[in-house]
Structure 1
């Protein structure tokens, strides 16, 4: 066993000695040019692979930069679109307000009443009443029972009367309030009746049972103190069938929505 191990060591030593000699002989025998070409053939693929890796890395880096740039540009465009949308909405609101004020001024020029313009400050949240608060008061000549209208869809709509007046604000009782009743007439048949508020609507009373009434017939004001004649109040929404009783039951839809009111006109004198 010891002899075999000694023999193996001798063989390994011979390999260590003769390997450098063998390589030297190969280098001497081979043509230096061929040797250089052989080395190049080994090195060039490595260089190509390295160049491709570098190129791929550069492309990937540029792609990441492009994505970041596009993301920033997108955010900037979204910001500009948001700003333009806000400016458009603002200009549109100013345009609509100017149109309303222009129509109001036209009405002021042709009516015999002295009129002041007011803005809505708030609404009464109580379910038992229908009122709004405006920014005009006794300092502006406002008094109780004065009529109030608003320009809606190109027509002057009667919306209520003053019930409480303060120096710089007032409370308007709307036609939909159960506490308000008003003499009116049907615009087409010219028949008179009494309009009573019903919170979310109105009811027209004392209209003869046998009278023919048009569907959605307009209901307008009668001339009175601080109230011109012919102002739209609402339209017939539904009515009971003709019967032997004296009067028909008529539901009236208001020509305005309290929460869409903006400017109002107050008849301060005539």
Structure 2
């Protein structure tokens, strides 16, 4: 008994015992079926919630910051992918437009060749332009067809628009084309004059294209007889006379007609159908007797 009394006299042990009893009592209240919380529970819950809010909000801000940084990184990667796709689209579109333009060009050339073949008895052999000389004293081009392809001097060369010139020199694999812009009636080395007529007036109209005016860019059609029905706006084509230029080659459009000095003949200025520049493909005209 004495020992027990001494134990209870120990203040620390007494306080510990009282605390343990109060904890048991509080636990008993907590485990019981109650509608309202006790004040210790309310105090503990409010204190805990306050402390949690102090840590939770900053932690949420930090977590949100890292999430935003991650989103920015993903957005930057997506922008890079979109830039690459846009560049690929631009390249593919340019390639598509180039192929489309080429196909349209080939289609136009094919239709032109077929139409000419139906109208006149000659064939057109396509040629690529290798080089172009634009010197006033020597306007000529070089094409990639030569004697091995059946090319011969004085064969006519045309574009889709109209007559370009004639073959002047031939090697095994290439040929030189003398352009109509070099036509000069006073130069014996110039390309041969062109016997010409008016489209749809072939039996009524005739003249000789003998020269090209470098200043005006016009061809001159001379020796047009009196009463010829040629008028501005008419389309001039080769008549086939003379044996050099096949019949039906488009030459140009009549711009004006002037009566000659003595009234016996007239002269017409012809705007060439071919523009004599920016050529890609030309055609060499093969007549029946020259087709090999």
Q: TM-score if structure 1 supplies the norm length?
A: 0.70
CA-CA distance at 1:50 after TM superposition: 2.8
- Aligned with residue 282 of structure 2, among 254, 263, 266: 263
CA distance in 2 between counterparts of 1:121 and 1:187 reads 33
Q: 1:140 to 1:106 in 2, by over 3 A?
A: same
Question: 1:1-270 alignment to 2 at 5 Å?
Answer: 34=43, 37-38=46-47, 41=50, 44-101=53-110, 103-105=112-114, 107-108=116-117, 111-113=120-122, 116-152=125-161, 157-178=162-183, 179-180=190-191, 181-187=193-199, 190-195=204-209, 196-199=211-214, 200-207=217-224, 213-223=230-240, 224-239=242-257, 246=263, 248-258=266-276, 259-267=278-286, 270=289
CA distance in 2 between counterparts of 1:110 and 1:212 reads 23
CA distance in 1 between counterparts of 2:159 and 2:260 reads 37
CA distance in 2 between counterparts of 1:94 and 1:58 reads 53
Q: TM-score if structure 2 supplies the norm length?
A: 0.65
Structure 2 stretches of 5 or more lacking a match?
Answer: 1-39, 184-189
Q: Which moves more between the two structures, 76-85 or 209-218?
A: 209-218
Q: 1:164 to 1:198 in 2, by over 3 A?
A: farther
CA-CA distance at 1:121 after TM superposition: 1.9
Provide the secondary structure at the position in 2 that maps to 1:65: helix
Structure 1 stretches of 5 or more lacking a match?
Answer: 1-30
Q: 1:138 to 1:176 in 2, by over 3 A?
A: same
CA distance in 1 between counterparts of 2:115 and 2:200 reads 26
How many residue pairs get aligned? The number is 235
Provide the secondary structure at the position in 2 that maps to 1:260: coil
